[in-house]
Amino acid sequence: MGGQRLDLRMKALVVLGWVVAAGCTAESEALFGVEGTLPDPLRFEDGRRVTSETQWPDRRAEILELFKTHVYGHAPGLPEQLAFTVLEEDPAALGGTANLMRVAITSRQAGREHTFELIRFAPNTGTPSGVFLLLNNRSANNTDPTRIEKSEFWPVEDAIARGYAIAAIQNSELAIDDAPPFAAGVIQLFEGDAAGPRPPDAWKAIGAWSWGASRAMDYLATDRLIDPTRVAVIGHSRGGKAALWTGAQDERFSLVISNGSGCAGAALTRRPRGVRETITVINALFPDWFADNFRAFNDNEEALPIDQHMLIGLIAPRGVAVGSGSYDSWADPEGEYLGLAYASSVYALFGDALIDPTAMPGEDGSVFVAPRGYHLRTGNHDLTAWDWQRYMDVADQTWPR
């Protein structure tokens, strides 16, 4: 058994070498369906190779800039003023087991103002807790602070039972998920009402949701019931893309969770055509999500100097968990697994073991190679209570108590 595992590890190493090296062999394509050559996270644009952890910050900065320029756009940082106002606190929520806070996060910039709300429950354990921050892309009744409505999408009671805090922000309060009104939220806070063309590398809705996640982190870092070294950002589908983009940019998140994030999320874009979503389709269906520059790669994935394993690599050496639904071919579960597996070369710089690209778990299986987890749930495109239990399993191992 041990020998077999070692063989697989060796095979993975060899194959990892093949795919990221100059020429992808026919055999590796047949094994993983990775078309052509994956860009190498460890090779600078000028050809130099990253051979040690100390060189990584420079290469990391280069990759981050490529994602800003070509995919998610450039977003601003802190506004001129940022204020947190407690709208409600219930120290004896959920029958006394939890503390509920509703906080208004208000930004002021150039005389303009924008406010969105954060809801969080923390267990009344007497010590600060790790927290899961959901970027909610569904309706607000999924994150009901009164708990009259309960949704598996944000299972407060389950998190509290496992000793975790859980928080949520509403993506639509940052940028409405539609073109053209996407700019009506935080983008106008910074840019005003100026009509006319925006730069082709300007942030849009996904950049705005991620910006909000970082402002939520600004608040959580001040919350006496939260351990700021244990903050996870989590999202499903478009929210999962935003969660990964948040974790790639903001190193304060020690765990980043992508559920069913698919194209421009965890899934590699250099993959065989089929049912999965492509760059061409996503740009056509959702013109409000990505920088306009991303359209240059419609039917032209090979020209991208990056692929999504490099987005996950930007999270290293922090924790990352990827989950897929086995029937969710549109999000390409195998591509999501490979995105995580091929980030291994970056994690290896920090001494972490490889995730074997040939050993994707079967239905209802999971794998954890510290500090990264993957699971495949039998089922559709959704974020369920079962998925959350797997993410809490990863948190248990990533944030040991």
Which residues does the annotation mark as catalytic? 237, 381
Select 265 or 313, whichever has its Cβ closest to ligand GTR.
265
The DSSP code sequence of 55-85 is GHHHHHHHHHHHHIIIII-B---S-SEEEEE
**Shortest distance (Å) from residue 273 CB to ligand GTR:** 15
**Shortest distance (Å) from residue 30 CB to ligand GTR:** 27
| Residues 42-101 close enough to bind ligand GTR by CB under 6 A | none
Q: Applying CB under 6 A, does 356 fall inside the site for ligand GTR? A: no
Q: Where is 277: in which H helix or E strand?
A: none
Single-letter amino acid, residue 319: G
Select 55 or 329, whichever has its Cβ closest to ligand GTR.
329
Find residue 324's DSSP bridge partners.
376
Identify the residue among 19, 119, 282, 383 touching ligand GTR (CB under 6 A).
Answer: 282
Residue 360's φ and ψ, nearest 5 degrees, are -60, 130
| Residues 97-156 close enough to bind ligand GTR by CB under 6 A | 137
Identify the residue among 41, 79, 235, 262 touching ligand GTR (CB under 6 A).
Answer: 262
Residues 6+ apart with CB under 8 A from 3: none
Select 261 or 398, whichever has its Cβ closest to ligand GTR.
261
3-state DSSP assignment of residue 284:
helix
Count of C-beta atoms within a 10 Å radius of residue 357: 23
The two beta strands, 372-377 and 319-325, are: parallel
3-state DSSP assignment of residue 366:
strand
Select 110 or 285, whichever has its Cβ closest to ligand GTR.
285
Q: Applying CB under 6 A, does 238 fall inside the site for ligand GTR? A: yes
Q: Applying CB under 6 A, does 277 fall inside the site for ligand GTR? A: yes
**Shortest distance (Å) from residue 277 CB to ligand GTR:** 5
Identify the residue among 136, 237, 278, 308 touching ligand GTR (CB under 6 A).
Answer: 237
Select 170 or 398, whichever has its Cβ closest to ligand GTR.
170
Distance CA 211, CA 189 (A): 12
**Shortest distance (Å) from residue 177 CB to ligand GTR:** 9
Residue whose entry in the numeric block shows the structure tokens 């490979």: 338
Q: Applying CB under 6 A, does 333 fall inside the site for ligand GTR? A: no
**Shortest distance (Å) from residue 235 CB to ligand GTR:** 9
Of 215, 171, 195, residue with least CA distance to 76: 215
Select 262 or 313, whichever has its Cβ closest to ligand GTR.
262
CB-closest chain residue to ligand GTR: 237
Q: Applying CB under 6 A, does 263 fall inside the site for ligand GTR? A: yes
For the chain, the straight-line distance linking the first and the last C-alpha, in angstroms and rounded, comes to: 31
| Residue 357 DSSP symbol | T
Distance CA 233, CA 323 (A): 14
For ligand GTR (CB under 6 A), the number of binding residues is: 8
Listed ranges 72-80, 111-119, 277-285, 388-396: which one lies at the site for ligand GTR (CB under 6 A): 277-285
**Shortest distance (Å) from residue 209 CB to ligand GTR:** 11
The two beta strands, 255-259 and 365-369, are: unpaired
**Shortest distance (Å) from residue 348 CB to ligand GTR:** 30
Select 41 or 240, whichever has its Cβ closest to ligand GTR.
240
Q: How many whole angstroms from its chain centre is CA 20?
A: 23
For helices 56-67 and 238-249, what crossing angle results, to 10°? 140
- Number of residues that this document lists for the chain: 401
Which residue ranges make up the site for ligand GTR (CB under 6 A)?
A: 137, 237-238, 262-263, 277, 282, 285
